[in-house]
Structure 1
């Protein structure tokens, strides 16, 4: 049986610098189209025009607009995990609030660095068949937080990590839904909630 191409996967990966530059231009154009008009304005013609390439060139790499959305989601998630893993790697020798602050900053930045893009991708996630990837991401985040909580002697670290991840995600998503763009306002509010859950006086 011949494997069929999934509409949410890139058709091919660039091997040369010129091709890689074309793909980057297409992906950034996709982000800008979403920021400007949301999902209602998002289609391959608009992305190709914004990127300055033909629709045929776009289709060489992405078989459908869903593949572009999936690529954007995967890149945003990879950026988030890179920030979380960096904080975890630097955790030893730091107090718990300092490490938690780094995790919170990563979560807030993930949502508010490009808030219109993040908002559109939130809706796109529900439309795409990426539930398995979503669950894997949640498990990785919880595992990273639980490891730090355990290191600092927090009881039931996995349960606490799940609760803190849900609490943070809820507050950050709500901020995005209501159009917040001020990271310096949201971060301290999330910190107060996280510290309160853990009984940290700071």
Structure 2
């Protein structure tokens, strides 16, 4: 189970890196939207499996590799925020990640599968939060 969780995190990190590279790094809203969309696509690829693996991850002791993967995802988001001089970037990164994770999980648990609707809500929330100061 731990190996499956690591694989899930590895794929997620890869999706986020690809999304960041494809976005205009100078446009904060575009980068956030790309990262949000990558996260949703990742979750919707195999929603039931992702939900099971995330539940397992919460119960298992986190090994060094999984911890490093999660740290790399955080650092990716943090780097974007720092590049755009967001005040308290670490706190904002933690909040945005938690907010997005919670909203995607809730939508999928409710049976939602419409990418565009979930993406719109999540992008509005994340971009508004990051831009509020």
**Shift, 1:160, TM fit:** 1.0
Out of 103, 114, 125, the residue aligned to residue 57 of structure 2 is: 125
Q: Which structure would you say has the larger RCO, counting Cα contacts within 8 Å and 6 or more residues apart?
A: 2
- In 1, Cα distance between the equivalents of 2:58 and 2:97? 19
- Matches for 1:1-202 after TM superposition, within 5 Å: 69-90=1-22, 93-130=25-62, 133-199=65-131
1: CA distance, partners of 2:65 / 2:25 = 32
**TM-score, normalization by structure 2:** 0.84
- TM-score, normalising length: structure 1: 0.58
State the distance in 2 between where 1:72 and 1:83 align. Answer: 16
CA drift of 1:112 comes to 1.2
Ranges in structure 2 where 5+ consecutive residues have no aligned partner: none
| Counterparts in 2 of 1:158 and 1:74: CA distance versus 1, 3 Å | same
Contact 1:143–1:158, Cα closer than 8 Å, also in 2: no
Q: What residue ranges of structure 1 are gaps of 5+ in the alignment? A: 1-68
Aligned-pair distance for 1:192?
Answer: 0.9
* Alignment partner, residue 65 of structure 1: none
Residue correspondences, number: 132
- Output one character per residue of 1:100-143: Cα deviation in whole Å (capped at 9) or x when no partner: 11110111112111112112222222343336555433322221
User: Contact conserved, 1:104 with 1:187, CA < 8 A, in 2?
Assistant: yes
Q: Which is greater in Rg?
A: 1
Cα distance in 2 between the residues matched to 1:82 and 1:163: 21
Q: How many Å apart are 1:146 and its aligned residue?
A: 1.1
Deviations 1:63-91 (A, max 9, x none): xxxxxx22322222111101212233455
